[in-house]
Amino acid sequence: MIARRNATLFTAVIVVVLLLRYSSSSEPEVLDEEMSAAAKYAPKFPSLKGVHLPTFRPPAHRPPDPQKDSSSGDSKWFNNWVWLNPFSSSITLDEDRSVLPPLLERPYIFTYYQAKKDQDRDADNADAELLLAWRRAWYAQGFRPAVLGRGEALANPLYKSVQQLDLSPELQDDVSRWLAWGHMGDGLFANWHCFPMARYDDATLSSLRRGPDSEYIRSFSSAALLSGEKDSINGVIKAAIRNSTKNAKSLLQLLPEDLLKSEQTNSLAVYDSATLASHYPALTEEPTSPTEGRLEELINSHLHTAFQNSFPGGLIVLKPFAEHTTALVEPALRLARALSQCPHSIVPKSCPPNLPQCHPCDENKPMKISQPATYKNNSQAFTIGTIPHPYTLISLLQNSAEVTTRHVRRETARDEWLKEVTSEQLGRELGGGPRAVVTKKSVAEGSAIGTSLWMTVESLPAKVGQALPSRILDEFEWQLGFKIPRDSNVDANNEGDVKESMQHANPSKQGVGREYEILKQARELLKRKTNRVNIRSVAEAWNMADTEIWKFVKAYRARSIVEREKWEESEKDFLGPRPKV
């Protein structure tokens, strides 16, 4: 038995030696007749004798910037569907570039504006403010608003055919609107007195965001908003030309029923003259024209009221480690208190025309504001989250910005902020990776749009009692869709010489003043740029998940600003009238 095994082993050794000898031969036998067609094209490699193969190492070079317009300041991002990977660097090979969800496509919504003849400066200013409110409201709902004029109508090839018709002035104006829309193409077309007055996840608005998808024109709120494709739009104009009559005042009166589909919705508020006269007579009874600024004020108050009614659970300001983070969340609390205020209006405690049964704001019963330590996925409440850099949080927790490597490694737990904020959802046993994924969803997932607002601590004021910078409030308004009340406690431009903290009723043990001092020192340290390993690098390495979320939120906000600025730049020639000073 042993001899047989030895013989088998010896035979195997001989076969291996012969194979190796054959494979190392410098003149391999050519078998043209038996060579397959695919083998003829196999590459022939030179001898590897004397060549030293490199060992496997991490990539030595970062890939070039993968996308245009993917950075702003020190924030960088990469739009990709794998954004829920716990750590962006595993995708981008760049520690400073965050993977964000791809930008949602914003469908066009057009309106048509033509100033009245002999209109004075006050009327121009009022129209400019109202158009700005219209753009802001629709932009916040995920659309790309654009104001069209007579120039777009003239560019439509059908304009010459229309000019040959004998139309009433009212029908001529209406056809000009359709010609401008038909020139631009697919999308939505709304009266500039038509405003979205519902939550972001409203069924009608969600359907409109998907764009036109039918051969007919969809009409909402008595044609205050229309949806259609370019061929259908121009087809409607051609049908109107064929059926035109001198007495018609609206293009829709000339259309066959099979080209138009009317749909009912309570998601849109239309402020036409009939609505103003029946619902808000105070605007028309005053000697001053309602178009001179007061209509925009009324609409803004209704947008604010609709926001407050959309969140019966109130406003949530995340405040983990309450005994150390009073100064950290104070700017967010100022914002929450501004959002809970009753908006000013010439018709106080009035409801939007599409929501007659709303709950008007009551100064004696303002919106509830809570400051929990943990995040809850509650769509009935609006969440304001403030993310600190790990070094900032460590400094606050130890009551000193003098942080050492020894303290970070031996005295602090990893990813403390994420663990505290997600403890109710995930418990306290999981590591930072799953917590980072859950928090990214809370910030940027579709269901989070319109129900939360996130920012980094280092982008906010760092002085006791200092209000929010106007530029930050301006950006928040484009996310919310309405003007934020700006008194001295909210807008830094309106605050006086005396700056007062809003949280004396809930001070931290070390004092609000001391916290602000630490925040200022932490901000200065984080601004320093160095190639050496410093305490910032130590804090980030020890808190990888916390750092990931801080960079994610920072990049997410920066991208939203870049997106809006690019849109404003592209629309600068379509903005209609500008306010005159």
In the three-class reduction of DSSP (H, G, I as helix; E, B as strand; rest coil), residue 318 is classed as coil
pLDDT at residue 29, as a whole number: 43
454 bridge partner residues = 385
Domain boundary among 260, 279, 298: 279
Q: Which of 6-20, 271-285, 564-578 has the lowest mean pLDDT?
A: 6-20
Determine the 3-state secondary structure of 410 from DSSP: helix
The predicted pLDDT at position 26 comes to 45
Contacts of 562 (CB under 8 A, 6+ apart): 69, 72
Which of the listed residues 279, 300, 331 is the one where a domain comes to its end?
Answer: 279
What range does the domain containing 179 cover?
Answer: 108-279
Q: Tell me: the pLDDT tens digits for 530-547?
A: 666 689 999 999 999 999
Longest dimension (CA), the chain: 119
Residues 98 and 124 in one domain: no
Q: Are residues 96 and 160 in the same domain?
A: no
Q: Do residues 273 and 418 both lie within one domain?
A: no
Same domain, 504 and 554: yes
Lowest mean pLDDT of 3-7, 409-413, 459-463, name the range.
3-7
DSSP state of 253: G
| Reported confidence tier of residue 511, pLDDT bands at 50, 70, 90 | confident
Instruction: Please indicate, yes or no, whether residues 255 and 396 belong to a single structural domain of this protein.
Output: no
Q: Residues 284-332: pLDDT tens digits?
A: 765 544 445 689 999 999 999 999 999 999 999 999 999 999 999 999 9
Co-location of 229 and 333 in the same domain:
no
Same domain for 456 and 337: yes
Q: Is 99 helix (H, G, I), strand (E, B) or coil?
A: strand
pLDDT single digits (tens) 15-34: 666 665 555 444 444 434 44
Same structural domain for residues 461 and 488?
yes
Instruction: Say if residue 271 is in the same domain as residue 325.
Output: no
Please say whether the beta carbons of 337 and 371 come within 8 A: no
Is residue 186 situated within a structural domain?
yes
Contact 202, 175 (CB under 8 A): no
Residue type, 554: K
Alpha-carbon distances, residue 123 vs 36, 169, 229, 286, 562 (angstroms): 84, 22, 34, 16, 32
Q: Which pTM value belongs to this model?
A: 0.85
Last residue of a domain, one of 279, 294, 323: 279
Kindly state whether residues 134 and 216 are assigned to the same domain: yes
Verify that 356 and 478 share a domain, yes or no: yes
How many domains would you assign to the chain? 2
More confident residue, 43 or 117: 117
Q: What are phi and psi of 472, to 5 degrees?
A: -70, -45
pLDDT > 70? residue 166: yes
